[in-house]
Every structure is written in C-alpha cells, then in structure tokens.
Amino acid sequence: MYNTDMPTRAELPSTRKLVRSTAIAAVSATAILVAVVLPAEYGIDPTGVGSALNLTEMGEIKTQLAAEAEADAARDAAARAAPATGANAATLPPAAVGVVPPPVAPLAPPAPPAPERQSSLFGAIGGLFVSSAVAQEMRQDEMTITLAPGEGAEIKLTMQEGEIASFAWVVSEGGAVNYDTHGDGGGQNISYEKGRSVSSDEGTIQAAFTGNHGWFWRNRGDAPVSLTLRTSGTYTAFDRKV
C-alpha cells in the first residue's frame, strides 16, 4: 500500500497553527454541543437557542421515550423473574381461526376528560369484569381512558394466531393521538398500522401469531383527551397494559 510521503519538517504546519486550529475546533464543538446537541438529545437548553429552533421538545421526547423503555424493560424482567402462573398456550382451547366478528357499532366521541380520574377507575373495574368471561365465546369490550399531554396508554387483546377482532376507537372532541396498532408474543413483534394526529380509527386485527395484539396511543397535544375503545371477537383477554 502506498502512503503519502512523509513531509519534511519545514513543510509541517507550525505548532502555533496547530494549537490555534485545535482551539477553534474545540470552541466550535462546544458551541454546537450547547446550542444544538444537548437540547436535541437531552432536552437541556442553557442558552435558549434549542427552544428557538424547536429542538428542545425533540430532546424532551427522546428523554421521555428512553425513560419509558427502561421502565418497560424493568417490568419485563420482573415478569420473567416471577413464576409463571395460569394457563399456558398448550391448555388453551383451539382458536376460532377465520371467524370474522361483526363490526362494532360506530362510536360517539367520549366527553372531554373530567378533572377526577373516574374514567380510568371505571375502566379498571370493567377490565376485571370482562377478564372472567369464558374463552372462545364471541365477546365485546369497551374502555374509556384519559391521556394527559405526553402520556401514552396501551390496550392489548390476547389472541391466538389467525383470530380476528373488530375494533373502533375515537378521541374526545378536538383531540388527536398518535397510535401504533401492534402485537407481540413468543419473541415476535409486528406493527400493523401507525398514524399521527388521528382522532379515530376502526377496522379489524387478524393476529399474525399467538400473543397480545392491540393499540398504543400517545397524546402529543397540549390538553388532556379521552379515548374510547370498543372491540369484539373471540379473544381471551382485554387488558390495559400501560
């Protein structure tokens, strides 16, 4: 391999020039870090430049997502550590593969969230009630949740491969959410559909594999919103995961 010939000592840049260049590089790097990188990555904005460029919000979102991912991983680890209880996949009744449930009735937008957290309490009670329903039967569920600005929520249906569930969800008047309709289970992951600033969606989910399939929503708006989800199908559980 040919390397460039060694320059003679006289051709080398002077120490003064090298030190000056290094200092300029270090000062520019510090300026870029403080004005752009720290706001955009960590939401740290000592100069206010990041906010002026709308970068601080990006950093805050990244920090929030990182914290949620960490909490999620900790929860998964705790779940793995706990001894497995309840029915495993082998004892479940055969899936009603290919049975298409009737579409759920159209939803009226829920009322905007009240100050007290009544709706989520109602949802929790509803969840307890519906989880006792018998597997394999066609069932219907409905839950209303409240999302504060920046808050995310997840509702999952426990489905076997090929099972189909109908769903409809709608956000309270004037609100919109980002959503990810997705599934996980047995080490597999799938995202069926994603959207931003959407106020309602409806359709069907066909489970690509046996596991939990459902919706993640996040309210990126400035005001709290209510969201009502209605589902029907032969799934075995309807749970709020987050």
Partner 1 sequence: MSGSIIDAIIGLSVVYKALDNMGAFQRWFGFQPNTKAATVIFGLFHGFGLSTKILEYDISPDGLVPNLLAFNVGVEIGQLLVLGAILIVMGFWRRTPSFFRHAYTANAVMMAAGFVLFGYQVAGYLVA
Strand extents, DSSP E, the chain: 139-147, 152-159, 164-171, 177-185, 188-198, 200-206, 211-218, 225-233, 237-240
Q: What minimum distance in Å lies between the beta carbon of 137 and partner 1?
A: 35
Considering beta carbons, is residue 49 or 133 the nearer one to partner 1? 49
The phi, psi pair for 204, rounded to 5°, reads: -130, 155
Question: Any contact of residue 208 with partner 1 (CB under 8 A)?
Answer: no
For the chain, the distance separating the N- and C-terminal CA atoms, rounded to the nearest angstrom, is 58
Residue written as token pair 């449930």: 101
SS3 call for 68: helix
Helices (H), 12-89: 15-32, 38-42, 49-52, 55-81
Q: What minimum distance in Å lies between the beta carbon of 197 and partner 1?
A: 29
Question: Any contact of residue 29 with partner 1 (CB under 8 A)?
Answer: yes
For residue 59 the two structure tokens come to 């950093």
Question: Any contact of residue 118 with partner 1 (CB under 8 A)?
Answer: no
What Rg value do the Cα atoms of the chain yield, rounded? 26
Out of 94, 134, 187, 222, the residue judged to bind partner 1 by CB under 8 A: 187
Q: What minimum distance in Å lies between the beta carbon of 6 and partner 1?
A: 7
Task: Find the part of the chain contacting partner 1 (CB under 8 A) among 22-30, 87-95, 143-151, 153-161.
Answer: 22-30
Residue numbers 41-100 binding partner 1 by CB under 8 A: 41-42, 44, 63
Report the interface residues with partner 1, using CB under 8 A.
Answer: 3-4, 6-7, 9, 12-15, 18, 21-22, 24-26, 28-30, 32-33, 37-38, 41-42, 44, 63, 187
